[in-house]
Structure formats: C-alpha cells, structure tokens
Amino acid sequence: MKINIEDIFDSKKFDKLFFYDKEDLGVMCLSDETRFKIWAPTADQVILKLYKNPLDKDCFKKIKMTKEDKGVWSSRLKGYSHGIYYTYEINIGKSRNEVVDSYAKAVGVNGKKGMIIDLQSTNPKGWLNHKKPPFKNMTDAIIYEAHIRDISINNSSGIKNKGKFLGLSELNTKNNEGESTGAEHLKELGITHIHLLPVFDFLSIDEENLDIPQYNWGYDPLNYNSLEGSYSTNPYDGALRIKEFKEMIKTLHENGIRVVMDVVYNHTGNTKDSYLNLTVPDYYYRLDEDGNFIDESGCGNSTASERSMVRKFIVDSVVYFAREYSIDGFRFDLMGIHDIKTMKEVRKRLDEIDFSILVYGEGWAASELSLGPERMAVKENTYKLDKIAAFNDDTRDAIKGSYNDEREKGFASGKNNLEETVKFGIVGATFHKQVDYSKILYSSRPWANSPAQCINYVACHDNHTLWDKINLTNCDESESEKIKINKLCDAIVLTSQGIPFIHSGSELLRTKNFVENSYKSPDSVNEIDWSRKTKYKEVFEYYKGLIEIRKKHPAFRMTDYKMLNNNLEFLDMPSKNMVGYILKNNANKDIKKYIAIIFNALKSSKTVKLPYSGWEIYTDEHKASAFPIGIVEGNTVSVSPRSALILMKD
C-alpha cells in the first residue's frame, strides 16, 4: 500500500506528536550563552556548524544537537557569541542538507548563513523611546505603495543613500528644481502609511556583486525573518541591515508615517531546495496525489498554511516583526492561498501587541485552490475575517479598465454601464440599499462586513501604472484630457469609504514606459523620476488636496455599514457615466452637515440639481483644497467634463 506523506503530515497523530507551541525557536543571543532550537521532526541527526565569516567554506566548530520532544533539536554555546555565523546540517536517511533555519533573525551576504545577533545592539539611538504616529481606525489609513529602490535611485531624487533603507531616513531632500522628494515628499503629500514591497531577504539579487545592475520586486522569499542585504550599505554585515531598517522606521514614525511590510508567506523563491523543504521535506508545501508541488501562486509552489507548524511559523514571523521592528501593518501577497484559520490567528496575535496594526491582502490566488475556496482567505470570505481587509479589484477595473486587457477603458476613461461597480467601491464593498449588486463587475454580493475591510485602488506595482494605462486606453487624446482622467480615477479612490491605496508616483503621472510586469526590469523602467513632480505640480497638488480633505473630514472614513447606510445617499444623475452622492447628518461626527460628491466621466459638462442651496466648492476640475475655493449659486451646479466635484454645507 502506497503511503501518502500528505496524509501523515495532515493527521491529528502527527500534530499530537510534533506540534511545538513554545516561542523559542531560532537563536537567542544572551550575554553569557546562545541558545539554538530548530524544528526538524524527520531528521535523524542535526549538527550545528559555526563560522567566523559569512563567506567561510569551512566551519570552525561542529556541535551535535540534542533531540527533544515535539521534533525540536537544541544546543547551547557558552559565552557572548554575537557576530558568529551558523548553519544546520540536517541528516535525513542518506541525505545531508545544509540550511539556514527558518527563524534566523540575521543572515550574512546572500542569506547563505545565519548570524547570531544581539538585537539590542542593532537599536539606533532613541529607538526604544520613539513613538508611532497616532492612529485610531483602519479607515483613517491612506496607504502609499513603494519600492525601496524605486523611490530614491534616480539622480533627480537628491538622496545620498540611493536604493537603500537609509534613503528613506534622509529628510529635506529635493529634486533639481527644489521640490521635495523621498520621505519629505511623503510628509508633504500627507499619506499615513507607506507600504513597502518585500524587504525580507529575497533570492534574486546577488549581494556580492551589487556593482552589476540588478533589480527585483522581491517576491521570491529566501529568509523570511531576516532583511534584504542589497538595501543596506554593507550586505556583509548582518547586523547593519537591521540597524539601518530600524533607523528608517524611526525616521518615518517621527515624521507622521507608519510602515507596512509586504509579506509573501504563500510561496518560497526556491521549491525543492528551499531551506524550509530541506529542513522538513514536503511538510511546508501542498502536494498533489503524485507528490508534486502544487502551484497556486504562479511561482512553482504553495505553502500549506493549514498545517499547524506552517501556521505557527507565519504567525510567529509577523509577531516578530511587529515586536522587534514596530511594524504597523502587513500586506499579504496572494492571501487567498492562506486558510481562514491562519489569518484569524494572525489578527488575534497582532491585536495582543497593537490593536492599530493593519492587516490586508490580495483575496485571490494565481490558480484554482486545491483545498477549495470555502476554507481560504479569498475576497468572497472577507466577511469572515474580522479586521482584515482585501483589495477591491471590482472597482479597480471598473474605474480604469481591465487589468488584463490594456486597451479596455473604465468608467473614468469612457466605458459605459459601470456606475454600479463605482458605487460598490464608494460604499466600501459593503451592503447598501441603493447599490444593484447584480451589476457589479466581478462580485454578486457585498463581501465586506465594514468599509475597513475594503482596500480601494486603481494601480499598484502589478500591471501598468495608472498613467501608462490611460495612455493606452485613450491614446488618441491630448495630454490635458489624460490628466483629467488620472485625477478622476484617484479622486474616486480618495473619497470612497474604506481604505484608499495609492501607487507611488501616481501623483506625478509615473510611467514605466508601458512595461506591464516590471518585476525584474532595470531602474530605467522602475525608478521614480522626481523631475515629474515639477513638470506635473498641479497634479501633485490635486492629490495633496484630496488627502487633506479626507483627513479633515471623518465623513469619508465611516467605520461600519449601518452608519454608512444612514448617512450616505446616492443622487439621481442627469446622465449615464455619472455618479453622485451626499454624506449627510454630520456623518461620523463631521463638522459639515452635508458633503456632496459628483463624478462626471463624460467629455461634456453636466448640470446637476442639488437637494439644498448654500454649497461651497472644495474640489473642481483643477484644484482640490481643504478650504473653500468657490460657491454655488442656488441649488444647481455645473460639473466639468471628466472631473470630481466636492461640495460642502453646514
């Protein structure tokens, strides 16, 4: 009879024998000794190998580890051992696998050896006493997605530590024309959270040859609990990357910006030869009936979060980053591959540390799920996940056009019959009595319990930038018309209920030269050209004004669907390709009794009748401001072509 390893690993008996619930896996460096623990239940023997330098081929000491209960192997090293490098030799039958343990907190160059680290020694001055920016409700977040290298590498950035963590620690940086860049730009723009593409140690960059041009987004994990060396000023020093990352976080916190990590627990960069698989072969992954790796990620493998020690690893990892680095949020790549129980446990444990930590992710997988969607953290199950948000791809594609058809238009660029899906994003993917759910682009029902579970966006690192997409869908139009469309797209995002998410550089009309999947394209494609801030200053000021309005008026940040239904009323519009609504009754304790928002995606002006008179104008086709820029005579208003109009009255 054929023995299925999947059945063994998934059995209650295996869990009873080998589930280890303590939080001491990995390496603990103390003043008088270092303690090592690794979970390797299928190993016959584990040998700890110690090295003086990260590139040494021969170790200076070998220690046979002691087998304990629950599949754990342990050892102790006397004395203060900070800075010593190590690996484990895992002996399984005839196999000899040399690994860096999955709980390694520091690694040497290219992540080939773990490093014994005294984490207190990595704290920059003032780290323990620094405070996070105040933050109350998830809907107060305004997220800005950025890549460490993109944001500083261009010569126009005025940043010294280009492509490094420390680049976002530099203040008062300017482009050649004197406009703010980097962290100073983020402050000026007014966002609350910067979402960083992967900063853990990933596989694709050769840290020994950084003088050779290399680029990757980083969605190929190597060492989950360690940091990427190419973002430090010296990748050979495992401690320095930690200190510089903390310095960056501290600087951002002190300047009012919280930090979100993009985490990729759904797959590993290597598959058969990943450190996880070499430690406990086949345990960490989903396999088919023939023992082949299942690929739900599009990257060769899918991790098995439903298994107790995989779940524990994911939870322990986010808890570690939240505690050690004061991380303020986690964005889960292909969250739909993870099971609901795991995501609930992530949320529970993070709430024990800091209730304000954001958790959100992609509510889908790259292919059909082997365990069935009913068990998984897909978008349709978001309502089962308290305080966990999902990206709203319905409204994304409704506003700008399909993600996989570069020429297809959306509401803002001229396509018809998308009003209901735009409304769906406006109510944060929740239930609202005035939304016709039979006409939503991809969903047939609300999938969020509250607006806080909906991430509204039109662009991110994937696919074309917003500006490139508009130039493809509306290629025959003038630049001024395309700018109108760009502004309208993110005006919808920034005024909708839920959590707005902006792709870095959208406010500068960022281009990637029409490269759709730039995950390993050169800097010339991915870098932010800060001279565009000068060239398109009006666009930047428009985004800045919209953010100021959102932050000043809690009516845009309602926290539950009942409040939303009582205080958000859609208006009848004079034409198709228009959406309008009123936030009323001093919604969410707003200082304004009424706020009216009207989106006109038509190429012509339209007159809209308002329910009251006495309105002040805060946003028109040119400008967005937290202060009035005009008044409306009577109770009718002309809405300019391809524009968002925001009106308020007491």
Distance CA(597)–CA(412), nearest Å, equals 15
Distance CA(51)–CA(62), nearest Å, equals 10
Q: What pLDDT, on the 0 to 100 scale, is given for residue 3?
A: 56
SS3 of 441-474: CCCCCCCCCCHHHEEECCCCCCCCCHHHHHHHHC
Distance CA(472)–CA(5), nearest Å, equals 50
CB 185 within 8 A of CB 150: no
Segment (H or E) for 554:
none
In 3D, which of 19, 1, 23 has the Cα closest to residue 9? 19
Which pairing describes strands 499-503 and 143-146: parallel, antiparallel, or unpaired? parallel
The 8-class DSSP code of residue 132 comes to P
Triad 355, 359, 361: Cα angle to 5°: 170
Listing DSSP states for 16-74 in one string gives HHH----S--EEEE-SSEEEEEEE-TT-SEEEEEEESSTT-SS-SEEEEPEE-GGGEEE
Six-digit token string for 65: 């580890």
The 8-class DSSP code of residue 477 comes to S
In 3D, which of 190, 253, 259 has the Cα closest to residue 540? 190
In 3-state terms, what secondary structure has residue 290?
coil
Six-digit token string for 489: 């797209």
CB 117 within 8 A of CB 29: yes
Six-digit token string for 475: 């290629």
Distance CA(467)–CA(457), nearest Å, equals 14
Six-digit token string for 194: 């910067």
For 140, half-sphere exposure in the C-beta direction (CA atoms, 13 angstrom radius) is 12
Classify burial at 79, counting beta carbons within 10 Å of its beta carbon; exposed 0-12, middle 13-18, buried 19 or more: exposed
333 is catalytic: yes
Q: Which residues contact 115 (CB under 8 A, 6 or more apart)?
A: 54, 83, 84, 85, 86, 104, 106, 107, 108, 238, 239
Q: What pLDDT, on the 0 to 100 scale, is given for residue 7?
A: 85
CB 630 within 8 A of CB 616: yes
User: Within a 10 A sphere around the Cβ of 477, how many other Cβ atoms?
Assistant: 17
CB 208 within 8 A of CB 109: yes
Catalytic residue, chosen from 170, 296, 328, 333, is 333
Distance CA(265)–CA(288), nearest Å, equals 20
CB 597 within 8 A of CB 573: no
Q: What pLDDT, on the 0 to 100 scale, is given for residue 398?
A: 98
CB 417 within 8 A of CB 441: no
490 is catalytic: no
Query: What are the residue ranges in the chain where pLDDT is below 50?
Result: 1
Catalytic residue, chosen from 207, 362, 397, 621, is 362
In 3D, which of 323, 362, 496 has the Cα closest to residue 422? 496
pTM over 0.85: yes
In 3D, which of 638, 305, 287, 329 has the Cα closest to residue 501? 329
Q: At what angle do helices 479-495 and 393-400 cross, to 10 degrees?
A: 160
Q: Which residue has the tokens 């944001």?
A: 151
Distance CA(185)–CA(169), nearest Å, equals 12
In 3-state terms, what secondary structure has residue 152?
coil
Q: What pLDDT, on the 0 to 100 scale, is given for residue 1?
A: 42
Compute and round to an integer the Cα radius of gyration of the chain. 26
In 3D, which of 166, 207, 200, 198 has the Cα closest to residue 183? 166
CB 245 within 8 A of CB 229: no
CB 396 within 8 A of CB 458: yes
